[in-house]
């Protein structure tokens, strides 16, 4: 009995040590991704987004793009634009001729394309996952599990190009079985940007008759 208990404890210790190594490897890779991303003045990402829920028989695919510079971004997605000037977020919907203006929220747990480069820095446990070959590129996946049990997110898989240290794919699984995937089609850095790209021109939209909602 004692030997069996000793073997069991030993197996637990080995398992814990192995998990610790995997967690450490995952964190090191994510730190390299973050350092690489922060070395750029700006980043342009063209992406494909897929939302899928097999139980509800839902599958939607959409293309979009985002330009990121520091805390600011311009996102084109689902026929709308979202501008973050570092202080406020402006969601512009041409179809409805409507604009919503909100303060930037630090409490939002949802992972948007603009957060792909930084969201994993806190609030998650890390685990080394599978390695895939995608068109000759080695994509290493890291599994992230939210520490906060109250979040609607069950897990996130982050696929990283091992050569460039750029994020290639993000797969977010919700507790309601909805899976959202963001796949990077192109990743460009240090582009020449307009000085007004992240500036919201309220008068321009007022002249067009847009309805503005302030939250």
Residue 12 lies in a domain: no
pLDDT, residue 8, reads: 34
Residue 132 lies in a domain: yes
pLDDT, one tens digit per residue, over 18-69 is 334 578 888 899 889 888 888 899 989 899 989 888 787 888 998 988 898 8
Residue 135 lies in a domain: yes
Which of the residues in the chain have pLDDT under 70?
1-21, 106-119
Residue 42 lies in a domain: yes
Contacts of 152 (CB under 8 A, 6+ apart): 109, 174, 175, 176
Position of tokens 């490897």?
Answer: 25
Q: Please give the tally of structural domains in the chain.
A: 1
Q: Which contiguous run of DSSP H or E holds residue 4?
A: helix 2-38
Q: Residue 184 sits in a domain of what CATH number?
A: 2.50.20.10
Residue 149 lies in a domain: yes
Residue 92 lies in a domain: yes
Domain that holds residue 174: 17-214
Residue 5 lies in a domain: no
* C-alpha dihedral sign at 77, 119, 88, 70: negative
pLDDT, residue 114, reads: 52
CA 108 to chain centre: 12
* pTM recorded for the entire structure: 0.78
pLDDT, one tens digit per residue, over 72-81 is 889 998 899 9
Residue 83 lies in a domain: yes
């Amino acid at each position: 009995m004692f030997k069996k208990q000793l073997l069991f404890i030993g197996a637990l210790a080995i398992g814990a040590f192995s998990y610790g190594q995997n967690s450490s490897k995952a964190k090191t890779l994510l730190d390299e991704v973050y350092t690489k991303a922060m070395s750029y003045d700006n980043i342009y990402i063209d992406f494909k987004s897929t939302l899928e829920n097999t139980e509800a028989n839902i599958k939607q695919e959409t293309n979009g793009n985002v330009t990121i510079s520091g805390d600011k971004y311009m996102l084109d997605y689902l026929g709308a634009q979202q501008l973050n000037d570092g202080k406020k977020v402006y969601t512009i919907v041409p179809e409805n001729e409507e604009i919503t203006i909100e303060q930037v929220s630090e409490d939002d747990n949802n992972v948007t394309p603009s957060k792909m480069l930084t969201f994993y820095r806190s609030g998650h446990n890390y685990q080394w996952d599978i390695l895939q070959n995608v068109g000759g590129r080695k994509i290493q996946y890291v599994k992230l599990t939210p520490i906060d049990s109250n979040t609607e997110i069950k897990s996130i898989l982050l696929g990283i190009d091992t050569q460039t240290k750029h994020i290639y794919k993000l797969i977010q699984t919700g507790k309601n079985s909805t899976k959202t995937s963001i796949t990077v089609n192109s990743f460009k850095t240090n582009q020449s940007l307009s000085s007004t790209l992240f500036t919201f021109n309220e008068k321009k939209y007022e002249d067009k008759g847009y309805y503005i909602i302030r939250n």
